[in-house]
Structure 1
Amino acid sequence: MYYSKGNYESLARPEKPKGVESKSAYLIGSGLASLAAAAFLVRDGQMEGKRIHILEKDSLAGGACDGYEYDNTGFVIRGGREVDNRYECLWDLFHSIPSLEVEGASVLDEFYWLNKHDPNSSLMRATVNRGEDAHTDGKFGLSDKGTQEITRLFFTPDEALYNRRISEVFSEEVLNSNFWLYWRTMFAFENWHSALEMKLYIKRFVHHIGGMPDFTAVRFTKLNQYESMILPLVRYLDAHNVQFHYGTKVENIQFDTKTDKKVATRIDIIRDNQKDHIDLTEDDLVFITNGGCVENSSIGNQNTPAAFNQELKQGGGWDMWRKIAAQDPSFGHPDKFCYDAEQSNWMSATVTTLDNRIPPYIQNICKRDPFSGKVVTGGIVTVKDSNWLLSWTFNRQPHFRNQPKDQLVGWIYGLFTDKPGNYIKKPMRDCTGKEICMEWLYHLGVPENQIEDMAENSANTVPCMMPYITAFFMPREAGDRPAVIPAGSVNFAFLGQFAETTRDTIFTIEYSVRTAMESVYTLLNIDRGVPEVWSSTYDIRDLLNATSTLSDGKKLTDINLDPTVKATLGEALKKIAGTDIEKLLKEYHLI
């Protein structure tokens, strides 16, 4: 497997890998990483679909990329993914997957046209005082010291950040800024999360720093992520006779690691409530999604809180990884991530409006007609003075294909689930859907004497608790996540958010697809390049633009620097006068 960039590789079809006719594949779980791997096996590996087996403990595919209507409960979206136009592996995949919305188009075509005709942006990123504009005004509000702390982190070697927390590298100069408000709510970082992941995120998305305050940096699908991405992928795999085995729980995978090579030899499963196993040969490829950010998640309803289930279940994804990791040190250290749900949880809630009482309050804040079919909030609106650090969003409506035209479906989430609310004096984790809706309506500016009636009769709200949703952000070091292809592996790979690949960042759909692509291309020896991570971190134009926007347009000569450094800068600016370097600095408003 090798990396590449440019049209020469990306537009080419690989030759059929040698010996693929005698191989089979078993994919553990049916999240995006597994589905993508199955698609690459079909498209680029040219493996027959009937030889590809997806083992899924539930009755529906998709994993964390969900969006369902539950009987007697309502519409539910546990989370949502912001999408980047520079997700090279994701779009390499989806340009081959037929759209279910537009005849004759791919999922990529549909997404591209949609976001060209209706580009994303936010007209109000944050509120205070019950629906008033927080007037962050697109500014990061960083002091010179804060900007320098972020720059220093950007250049810090990974090794120096092992097992360190964000609060160890950022002072209050950063943590009290608009920058941190934008960042933590957009990506769900907490102060105690990994400084290494923070650094990797800054480097990965440096080209989008300027588009963070108004969300022009991101794009969204037409419908929820299940119907817009997962369902087309499942239909594609069905059409190629890929075998889905629902109701099949994988408990463990046995490996032979006694020699200089590592071989998966058996999959232990429970099927139809009976223990069973699948014996493997070296021609049987195994793709393992280890861990799971939505494991132990629970759904409540309008009148029932979502349970906070901290104890990891025997036979779940984390338990499976623990059993695998016990067999070889190269298989990672799951307990670095899942040891404390208090540090990795947040809650979401899906709210469905039932009449015309709530939509005017939404429109008052987002400044757009939410029934227009176009961008509504353009990303999350963060309630800056919320005790729960509440954020909420309404994407293009309808958000579900079968959603009634006179209803809106939106998403609320809170990072501080253990704090009493501003209006509902209870921790978010103890609240019913109705109570979460009441807290949200309070922050929308609904008159207090109407809040309870509106939450009860004008909305249906479904809470969701996710104890391990940001487990992958826990402080870590090299080796805590297994490599996509561990050294010596003959017939297995790790996929998804708890597998290790270079330069890309977790908690993105791109990471799931990238690990899938790398694993398939390696195990089948496919002679086609895997697209390199977008190289903005090495593009001087992106770096200059990020420097300028982080400083809210401040000139280099106006930054409070050490006198010696400032004198050196002055001499350097004299020497570059009349050069292309001077032109570049002027173009990005740094001089």
Structure 2
Amino acid sequence: MANHDTKAYLVGAGVGSLAAAVYLIRDGHFPGKNIHIFEEMNITGGSCDGTGSAEKGYVLRGGRMLNDEAYEYTWELLKFIPSITDPQISVRDEIIAFDKKVQTHAKARLVDENGKIVDVSSMGFSNKDRMDLMKLTISPEDALKTYTIEQFFSPSFFKTNFWYMWATTFAFQPWHSAIEFKRYLNRFMHEFPRIHTLAGVTRTPYNQYDSIILPIIKWLGGQDVHFEMNCKVTDLDFKPSQKEKTIERIHYLDAGKQKEITIHNTDLVFVTNGSMTEGYSLGSMTSAPRLGSKGASFTLWENIVRKQPDLGTPSVFTDHIDKSLWESFTVTCKDPIFFDLMEKFSGNSYGTGALVTFKDSNWFMSIVLAYQPHFINQPENIKVFWGYSLFPNNIGNYIQKKMSECTGEEILIELCSHLRFHKHIPFILKTSNCIPCMMPFITSQFMPRVRTDRPEVIPKDSTNLAFLGQFAEIPDDVVFTVEYSVRSAQMAVYSLLKLNKEVTPINQHQYDVRILFDTFITSFR
């Protein structure tokens, strides 16, 4: 437990830091006024964002898949946070009630080059594919080392219905880490039999920023937690020691002015080292986004490693932008025509479908139409949908340009052409605002790596330092999820405060005989 004078300093206002602040207060009985969260931007939530207006257009850089059976930490946390719309119930209860009301069952998961819905009742595996999958799921991570997915499977595997669906659900590329792919296969094995409908996806009433982040921010604000916005942490100083890792000073920029904080003996420091949305750039209907570069969080990690070389290898994740980037786009519609056409095409009313992936798209494009309104401040006459492409540096099928060079208007033309909405394109362009978003590091956490390339949540010999988020090492769990960040927060707080509380265990679905049997049967469909 913390004493009355202990202070906690959290670098970054993403999900990891927000969850850590909740755990500090709830389980560590930390005074909220002693918690300081530093954020270089003017908005909280990190990569779990959602912003905009009907006039200027809404923006979602990305979306995180939630799962009722694999998000043990997230649901445990959200059971404690009151809903904004109804403070008498928890955020968890609100999400479950909504998910029961608006159930997901995709009828148009894949679309072919002719604009026809693909029959995905079969996974499309060969016997070799089945054997390779089985071999990967039982291979020790130390044996896999820096193997990529494409080194483990034959080229035909990447033409199966399974790959098209699994890859776009979780944003995997063939050159990504076989270890991370294995973790996903095990962690979400219970989703394998329903990957073609995505019926296991748990949806929030609004976008995840409005439904999850805002309630946490409101609760933390009520506890007098300090949010130091527009403050960029640049470096940490360690006490000279051969045996311990102890932070003694934080350096940061506040409105461009260099400042520092002295860390006292009982104080704690939590660092989000790296960000998947770092260096992002937005375009518009008339302009393409630019390609950004490293920013504050990766640079801070590099500065830490210069002083403590055993705290990871940032370059493994930052030096391969060509393999870690993709591009998303958010479309604000002033007329429901696109939604009406999609409902007729897919057989799903909005909110009940899932990712619609154009498997033969040169950009490997997918879109999803969420339940409306998708933003708390969204007018009734406005509709919003989101999409993304895994190959933005390829030339389009209809627009003869790389997606990365395209305006929002050109992206909409490419999308509508895949759907054969040709005659409606002029009106859709006139009544829509498509904002593209380029993210150079969005899947950098999937890059091939070994265990020591990411620091442990509590590094060896640390007395007051913990790492949070997607670039900390957590055995068995999967990055690119809200769950991973929340898990790192609970582990960090319980360990640094030496709380006599059990860390929530991971559901080991790969050892459930019923799930194994269902997966086996599905692989032969």
Q: Same fold (TM over 0.5)?
A: yes
- 1:290 equivalenced with 2:273 (yes/no): yes
Q: Is 1:348 aligned to residue 328 of structure 2?
A: yes
Q: Aligned residue for 1:115?
A: 99
**1:245 aligned onto 2:220:** no
1:513 aligns with 2:513: no
Q: 2:367 aligns with which of 392, 401, 412?
A: 392
Alignment match, 1:332:
312
Structure 2 counterpart of 1:579: none
What residue number does 1:567 align with? none
Q: Deviations over 1:107-134 (max 9, x none)?
A: 0010111112222221110112453212
Task: Note if 1:487 corresponds to 2:460.
Answer: yes
Q: Does 1:409 align with 2:384?
A: yes
Query: What's the offset of the Cα at 1:410?
Result: 0.3
Q: Give the C-alpha shift of residue 70 in structure 1.
A: 5.7
Q: Is the 8 A contact 1:76 1:350 kept in 2?
A: yes
Among 425, 437, 440, the alignment partner of 2:400 is: 425
Give the corresponding residue for 1:442.
Answer: 417
Q: 1:412 to 1:167 in 2, by over 3 A?
A: same
Matched residue type, 2:86? V
SS in 2 for 1:406: coil
Alignment correspondent of 2:73: 89
Letter in 1 for 2:375: F
Q: Does 1:50 align with 2:33?
A: yes
Paired residues of 2:183 and 2:478 also in contact (CA < 8 A): yes
Match runs of 1:73-472 below 5 Å: 73-86=56-69, 87-129=71-113, 131-136=115-120, 138-256=121-239, 258-309=241-292, 311-313=293-295, 316-370=296-350, 375-377=351-353, 379-447=354-422, 449-451=423-425, 453-472=426-445
| Counterpart for residue 51 of structure 2 | 68
8 Å contact from structure 1 (residues 130, 442) kept in 2: no
1:115 and 1:340 map into 2 onto residues whose CA distance is 38
Q: CA deviation at 1:20?
A: 2.9
Residue type of the alignment partner of 2:129:
G
2:159 aligned partner, one-letter code: N
Match for residue 478 of structure 1?
A: 451
C-alpha distance in 2 between matches for 1:134 and 1:210 = 17
TM-score by length of 2: 0.97
Question: What is the CA distance between 1:450 and its match in structure 2?
Answer: 4.2
Query: For residues 489-548 of structure 1, what are the alpha-carbon distances to aligned partners after superposition, in whole Å with 9 as ceiling and x for unaligned?
Result: 000100000001111111111000000000000001111111101121222221222111
> 1:12 aligns to what?
none
Query: What secondary structure sits across from 1:22 in the alignment?
Result: coil
2:250–2:262 CA contact under 8 A, matched in 1: yes
Deviation larger for 511-520 or 161-170: 161-170
Q: Distance in 1 between matches of 2:106 and 2:390?
A: 21
Pairwise CA distance, 1:71: 8.8
* Structure-to-structure mapping, 1:14-25, within 5 angstroms: 17=1, 19-25=2-8
Asked if structure 1 preserves the Cα contact closer than 8 Å seen for 2:336 and 2:383, the reply is no
Separation in structure 2 between the aligned mates of residue 400 and residue 462 of structure 1, nearest angstrom: 16
Work out the CA distance in 2 between the residues paired with 1:258 and 1:210: 53
Separation in 2 of the partners of 1:273 and 1:481? 30
Structure 1 position 405, deviation (Å): 1.3
Task: Give a deviation string over 1:318-339, Cα, whole Å, max 9, x none.
Answer: 1111001111132110001110
1:374-400 CA deviation, whole Å, 9 max, x = no partner? Answer: x242x2100112110100001111101
Partners of 1:170 and 1:21 lie apart in 2 by: 56
Superposed CA deviations along residues 22-49 of structure 1, whole A, max 9, x for unmatched, are 3110000000000000010011111000
Shift of 1:277: 0.6
Name the count of aligned residue pairs: 524
Range with bigger deviation, 242-251 or 118-127: 118-127
CA distance in 1, matches of 2:156, 2:196: 18
- Matched letter for residue 389 of structure 1: F
Which range moves more in the overlay, 33-42 or 533-542?
533-542
Deviation at 1:254, TM superposition (A): 1.4
Q: One-letter code of the match for 1:260?
A: K
Gaps of 5+ in 1: 1-16, 553-591
**How big is each residue's C-alpha offset from its partner over 1:460-516, in whole Å with a ceiling of 9 and x where there is no partner?**
100000000000010000100000000110001000000011111111110000000
Q: Give the equivalent residue in structure 1 for 2:470.
A: 497
- The one-letter amino acid of 2:522's match is T
Give the whole-Å Cα distance in 2 for the aligned partners of 1:230 and 1:149.
Answer: 39
Q: Report the RMSD for the aligned CA atoms in angstroms.
A: 1.4
Asked if 1:59 corresponds to 2:42, the answer is: yes
| Superposition TM-score, scaled by structure 1 size | 0.87
Q: Secondary structure at the match of 1:531?
A: coil
Distance in 2, Cα, partners of 1:49 & 1:387: 50
Tell which structure's C-alpha radius of gyration is larger. Answer: 1
For the residues of structure 2 that align with 1:37 and 1:130, how far apart are their CA atoms? 49
Aligned-pair CA distance for 1:257: 5.4
Post-superposition shift, 1:455? 4.2
Structure 2: tracts of 5 or more residues without a match = none
For the 8 Å contact 1:77–1:350, the answer to whether it is kept is yes
